[in-house]
Amino acid sequence: VVLMRDQIRSRIADLSALAAKTQATERRILEQAERRLEQIAGRLKEIKPRVLLDESLSDEYQRLILERGKLGIVVAQARRVLG
């Protein structure tokens, strides 16, 4: 009974450490995603006036819009995990 209790305590400690690592990783993911969203917003603002005149900028604009949408999902998931 004592051995089983010690094993349970050890497992709980392991899970607690894993939860802390997961939280730290989610915070880093959130920070990086938010930083990238700021970069995207800046670039979109920069190229928006010329998008209709330059096809390569139009393609870049579309890629950035798609990336922004995916990052929005990443941010929402990270915030949900972090509570």
* pLDDT above 90 coverage of the chain, percent: 92
Report yes or no: 44 and 61 within 8 Å, Cβ to Cβ: yes
Does this model's pTM top 0.95? My answer is no
Cα 44 to the center of its chain, rounded Å = 20
Per-residue pLDDT at 46 = 97
